[in-house]
Amino acid sequence: MKVRILRQKSADSEPYWESFSYDGPMEQSVAGLLDYLNFHDDIRTADGEKTDRILWECSCMQGVCGACAMVINGRPALACETFLKDLKGKEITIRPLQKFPVVRDLVVDRSSIQENLKKTNLYIDEYQPSEKESHAQQYLAAKCLKCGLCLEVCPNYVNGNTFYGAVFVNDCFLVSARNREQRGEIRKAYRQHFESDCSKALSCMDVCPMKIPILSFLTMR
Amino acid sequence: MKKVIVIGSGIAGLACSATCAKKGMQVLLLSPAPSERSQSVMASGGINAVLPGGEPGDNVESHIEDTLRGGRYLSGKRAVTGLCQSAGQILQDLERIGTVFSVDAAGAPKRRAFGGQSHKRTFYCGASTGKQIVTALIMEARKYESRGLIERRLWCHFYKALLREGVCYGAMIFDEKKKQLETVTADALVIATGGQNSLFGKTTGSNMCDGYAVGRLFMQGVALKNLEFIQYHPTTIETAQKKMLISEAVRGEGGRLFYETNGRRVYFMEEKYGPRGNLMTRDVISREIFLAPGPVYLDISFLGKKAIDEKLPEVKEVCAKYRGIDICREPIPVVPSVHFFMGGIAVHNNHETDMKGLFAVGECASMYHGANRLGGNSLLAAIHSGRTAANAIADEAAERVMREEDFSSELAGEQARLEMSMASKSPFPVMYIRDMLAETMQRSLGIIRDEAGISAGLEDVDYYLSVANRISYDGSVSAYHNFSLTGILTLAKAALLSAKARKESRGAHCRSDYPEEDENYACATIVSYDGGSYTVSFDKEHAYES
């Protein structure tokens, strides 16, 4: 199987494609494939040329930390839960998320996610729920990985812009559900950084690894 | 205003930072990645506490006794008492900051049974308790970030502590984006870097927890404790990419372990240990599975889909996603795997090391779990230790008189060394040595060890160290992977030496050549380092329990 990876040596250098051959098991995930390519004495391209190991972010390897978000065959996904047997065609293309600045290879800087949440003061402070709690939804919202897949796929999100995307709505919902006193402030932030610019494409829900029902959070006007 | 540097932003680091900020201190929170990537999000089963409304007869004394007994009486009673006494307040505080606990119809948090405990006292959030707590603590830290009391920096790796004459002045850190070393100074430095996973390659935990900080501090003269006590979690599932944890919650909810012989299921834990056999401590169950005559399975299917969906959705998902197994219909094939490190940096009850101003919290410190940790006590200890360190720093009479210590020449020297190394080429790939180390450690410090195996491991690690010391820079991996190698190997050697010195079996340290528990070893193992020589001793005076 041929694997094409978009690589980049540093933040300010030009990206380039490199091809590799993979002959391991197809039950493997893309994360397993990257490990397989990296964990040999040498790493060589499909042409047999020695090259640098492929840098990618990885922590849990089981879909609960969000580190390995990347674009696989054109679709934003977590590498550790995208399986080779489920991919169509004889070639896989892997590239870094495009909405964030590349640090090296498949590693991108997603710190704008946390920065936006900090700028809008999204924190619970004291737990003061409303009488009728949406416990199951809150549980799901608290599982958000901050992986950035929802922003990558969103037609309206641009890094550095004032539209903060689905990840922001998720935390708006969680904070307002857990502390009713915060609701007024959060509504303001929601209007300013989400409502007016969301075109309801809802592609964010298709790619969310935690299957968070963002749509049901959009009723918080 | 006192200044504190916290290295690591998992639950222990977050709890410490938030408490410091609450007490009006200025925190610099450093980590390579945001808290969402920390191993803490992988903790699944729950957190222990005794609160009103629990099982009849349960009390804090029972929690203390269960913890001490589970750890084979190797942890200090005062420390464990502090841990268990604080648990109720910690639970209430976690609720107050918005943790989404699983609750009953009346809205009260629910409890489940966990291994080695006399009463049901493990509070939980489905099977993603760690993640739910991390989410709440991130928000709590964000509150103080917005008030300017916590400053977070990502892409930062610990390089070494700034130590002089037994006093810590801060840390030298490596900024991965700038590819540069720099020094940061403060009144206190708190290490919260998690377990020593990379010694064993892939474990149930995060591969970002590699033990480097612990190894490097050891090389700088900080003593380590109980390194031979490595917890093998009894129930993990083999997948193509790693062994994944099957939460103890499955057994807490009634899951039964068995193997098959002649088509008949043998519920070996129940046969040997009675009706609560599946809830024995992890060290005991791992050994029994290791010694079982055939593959072992964990069955929870009888609970039914509705209850499984409600209580164990994450376990169901992992099995389905990575192995195509429907736990509502079939048993889970399980094997033990390295999961937790009871040993780590030797700290006193206030979590300060022997170096003034240097603290360690969470899994990288050794304190509460003795020879074997109880499920549900690690999340508790992460929060309690973070708070304890923060309180101790706050209670210090005054800000440290920061003598005009100048670390600029030390920084320049290290930077020059790193740059020289980065400019060179090596025939030895760093990752290859790390892989070989993992194989060695799994062989030598498995569930059951002996002198010959440990000695063979020491020979291997000595060889890797000799290669690492001659190695030039491996440009095909990150700078961090290069400079962290010697610290990791040194830590591995310290662990092997500790295991060799303890000539008995206790908790997770099981020696086939010394199968009995020996009262002469009823104290902590301390290993120290001085200019290349290692010394192992036993803390018979209980110096670290003060």
Report the length, in residues, of chain B. 546
8 Å CB contact between B181 and B407:
no
Higher pLDDT, B48 or B240: B48
Q: Which two tokens stand for residue B464?
A: 């890797």
Dist CA B267 CA B270 (whole Å)? 6
Burial label for A50, CB within 10 Å (0-12, 13-18, 19+), is exposed
Task: For chain A, give percent helix, strand, coil, nearest 5.
Answer: 35, 15, 50
* Same domain assignment for residues A88 and A170: no
Distance between CA atoms of residues A136 and B186, nearest Å:
43
Q: Which burial class, exposed, middle or buried, applies to A160 when counting CB atoms under 10 A from its CB (0-12, 13-18, 19+)?
A: exposed
Residue B98 pLDDT greater than 60, yes or no: yes
User: What is the maximum alpha-carbon separation in chain A?
Assistant: 65
Minimal Cα–Cα distance from B433 to chain A, Å?
A: 9
Mean pLDDT to the nearest integer, A20-29: 93
Contact (CB<8Å) A59/B136: no
Q: Please state the φ and ψ torsions of residue B424, each to the nearest 5 degrees.
A: -95, 165
Cα dist. B229→A211, A219, B107, B279, B495 in Å? 39, 52, 39, 20, 9
pLDDT tops 70 at residue B95: yes
Whose CA is closest to B140, among A170, A123, A172? Answer: A123
- Asked if A118 lies within 8 A of B146 by C-beta distance, the reply is yes
Give me the helices (H) in B257-399, please: 268-273, 282-291, 305-311, 313-323, 377-395
Is B475 part of the contact surface with chain A (CB cutoff 8 Å)? yes
Q: Where in chain B is the domain with CATH 3.90.700.10?
A: 234-337
Nearest residue, CB atoms, A139 vs list B39, B125, B155 = B125
- The DSSP annotation for B193-221 comes to ----GGGGSS-SS-TT--SHHHHHHHHTT
B142 touches chain A (CB under 8 A): yes
Question: Can you tell me the distance from the alpha carbon of A109 to that of B155, in angstroms, rounded to the nearest whole number?
Answer: 9
As given in the structure block, the two tokens for residue A152 are 């990558």
Mean pLDDT of B185-206: 96
Alpha-carbon distance B321 to B446, whole Å?
29
The CB density around residue A83, as the number of other CB atoms within 10 Å, is 18
The 3-state DSSP class for residue A35 equals: helix
| SS3 state at A192 | helix
Residue from A58, A60, A81 whose CB has the most chain B CBs within 10 Å, to mutate: A60
- Tell me which of B428 and B243 has the higher pLDDT: B243
Residue of A nearest to B477 (CA): A53
Take residue B456 and report the two structure tokens written for it.
């063979």
pLDDT of residue A38: 87
- B373 noted as active-site residue: no
The answer to whether the CB atoms of B429 and A42 lie below 8 A apart is yes
A11 and A99 assigned to the same domain: yes
Where among A61, A88, A107 does a domain terminate? A107
* pLDDT tens column, B83-92: 999 999 999 9
Give A-chain residues touching B429 at CB under 8 angstroms.
41-42
Label residue B404 by pLDDT band (50, 70, 90). Answer: low
Query: A208 and A214 in contact (C-beta within 8 Å)?
Result: yes
pLDDT at B402 over 70: no
The packing angle between helices B377-395 and B77-96, to 10°, is 100
Same domain, A102 and A9: yes
pLDDT of amino acid B24: 96
Output the average pLDDT for chain B: 95
Of the candidates B494, B456, B175, B531, the one whose C-alpha atom is nearest the C-alpha of residue B341 is B494
Q: What's the CA gap between A169 and A94, in Å, rounded?
A: 28
Q: What total of structural domains would you count in chain A?
A: 2
Q: What is the pLDDT of residue B398?
A: 61
Band of residue A155 on the pLDDT scale cut at 50, 70, 90: very high
- Show residues of chain B in contact with A211, CB under 8 Å: none
Among A189-198, B294-303, B348-357, the range scoring the smallest mean pLDDT is A189-198
Given a cut of 60, is residue B109 above it in pLDDT? yes
* Cβ within 8 Å, pair B207-A58: yes
Question: Average pLDDT in the A50-61 region?
Answer: 93
Indicate whether A35 and A102 sit together in one domain.
yes
Q: Which amino acid belongs to residue B1?
A: M
Mean pLDDT, residues B282-298: 98
- Tell me, yes or no, whether A13 and A100 share the same domain: yes
pLDDT band for position A133 (cuts 50, 70, 90): confident
pLDDT the model gives residue A40: 73
Lowest mean pLDDT among A149-158, B327-336, B403-412, B483-492: B403-412
Chain A CB within 8 Å of residue B313 CB: no
Residues A77 and A127 in one domain: no
Confidence category of residue B61, pLDDT binned at 50, 70, 90: very high
Query: Of B224, B223, B209, which is closest to residue B158 (Cα–Cα)?
Result: B209
Q: How far apart are CA B482 and CA B473, in angstroms?
A: 7
The structural architecture, per CATH, of the domain B234-337 is Alpha-Beta Complex (3.90)
Which residue from A144, A128, A209 is spatially nearest to B131, judged by alpha carbons?
A144
Of A54, A61, A6, A7, the C-alpha closest to A32 is: A61
- Which pLDDT band, with edges at 50, 70 and 90, does B527 fall under? very high
Q: Which 3-state string (H, E, C) describes B295-314?
A: CEEEECHHHCHHHHHHHCHH
**d(C-alpha B381, C-alpha B385), whole Å:** 6
DSSP β-ladder status, B510-511 and B448-449:
parallel
**Local confidence band at A220 (pLDDT 50, 70, 90 cut-offs):** low
Q: Looking at the partner chain, which of A11, A123, A144 has a beta carbon nearest the beta carbon of B143?
A: A123
Q: Do B135 and A144 touch (CB under 8 A)?
A: yes
Work out the percent of chain B whose per-residue pLDDT is above 90: 88
- Of the partner residues B100, B240, B321, the one whose CB lies closest to the CB of residue A25: B240
Q: What percent of chain A has pLDDT over 70?
A: 98
Which residue of the set B111, B152, B251, B282 is catalytic?
B282
Q: Is B512 helix (H, G, I), strand (E, B) or coil?
A: coil
Half-sphere exposure at residue B351, Cβ-oriented, CA atoms within 13 angstroms: 33
Contact check, Cβ <8 Å, A133/B145: no
| Angstrom distances, CA of residue B390 to CA of A125, B28, B172, B190, B276 | 20, 13, 21, 9, 39
Reported confidence tier of residue B214, pLDDT bands at 50, 70, 90: very high
Q: Which of A64, A126, A147 sits opposite B96 (nearest CB)?
A: A126
- In the CATH scheme, what is the code of domain B408-538? 1.20.58.100
Pairing of strands A2-7, A16-21: antiparallel
Mutate to test the interface with B, among A114, A131, A171 (most CBs of B within 10 A): A114
Per DSSP (E only), the strands in B114-185 are 122-123, 150-153, 156-164, 167-175, 180-185
Cβ contact, residue pair B206, A59, below 8 Å: yes
Which one, of B135, B194, B125, B387, lies nearest residue A123 by Cα? B135
pLDDT at B431: 80
Is B36 an 8 Å CB contact of chain A? yes
Closest residue in B to A31 (Cα–Cα) = B241
Q: Do residue A115 and residue A41 come from a single domain? A: no
Of B103, B139, B152, the CB nearest to A135: B103
The crossing angle, in degrees rounded to 10, of helices B377-395 and B129-146 is: 20
Residue B31 confidence (pLDDT)? 98
Residue B342 scores a pLDDT above 80: yes
A131 and A206, same structural domain? yes
The closest of B176, B138, B139 to B155, measured between CA atoms, is B176
Instruction: Give, for B423, the enclosing helix (H) or strand (E).
Output: helix B408-423
Task: Output the six-digit token pair for B458.
Answer: 């020491």
Q: Which of residues 139-198 of A touch B (CB under 8 A)?
A: 139, 142-147, 174-175, 178-179
- The residue out of A67, A86, A107 marking a domain boundary is A107
Contact A111 B154 (CB under 8 A): yes
* B278–A contact, CB cutoff 8 A: no
The CATH number of whichever domain residue A79 belongs to comes to 3.10.20.30
Chain A residues within an 8 Å CB radius of B125: 139, 142
Q: Which domain holds residue A193?
A: 111-217
Task: Look at chain A and count its residues.
Answer: 221
| Cα dihedral A163, A167, A170, A172 sign | negative
pLDDT at B484 over 60: yes
Of the partner residues A64, A113, A178, the one whose CB lies closest to the CB of residue B42: A64
Report pLDDT for B427: 64
pLDDT at B403: 57
- Where are the domain boundaries for CATH 1.20.58.100 in chain B? 408-538
Mean of the per-residue pLDDT values for chain A? 93
> What integer pLDDT is reported at residue B476 of this predicted model?
67
Q: Which of A124, A181, A185, A210 is the best mutation test for B, with the most CBs of B within 10 A?
A: A124
d(CA A5, CA A16): 8
Confidence of residue B479 (pLDDT cuts 50, 70, 90): confident
A210 in reach of chain B (CB within 8 A):
no
Q: How confident is the model at residue A200 (pLDDT cuts 50, 70, 90)?
A: confident
Q: How confident is the model at residue B400 (pLDDT cuts 50, 70, 90)?
A: low
Cβ–Cβ gap B139/A109 under 8 Å: no
> What is the DSSP pairing of strand B167-175 with strand B156-164?
antiparallel
Cα–Cα distance between B63 and B287 in angstroms, integer? 24
Q: A46 and A126 share a domain?
A: no
Last residue of a domain, one of A107, A138, A171: A107
> Is A9 in the same domain as A89?
yes
Beta bridge partners of B345: B224, B365
Considering the domain architecture, whether residues A103 and A192 belong to the same structural domain is answered as no
Mean pLDDT in residue range A172-181: 92
Place of tokens 């494609």: A17
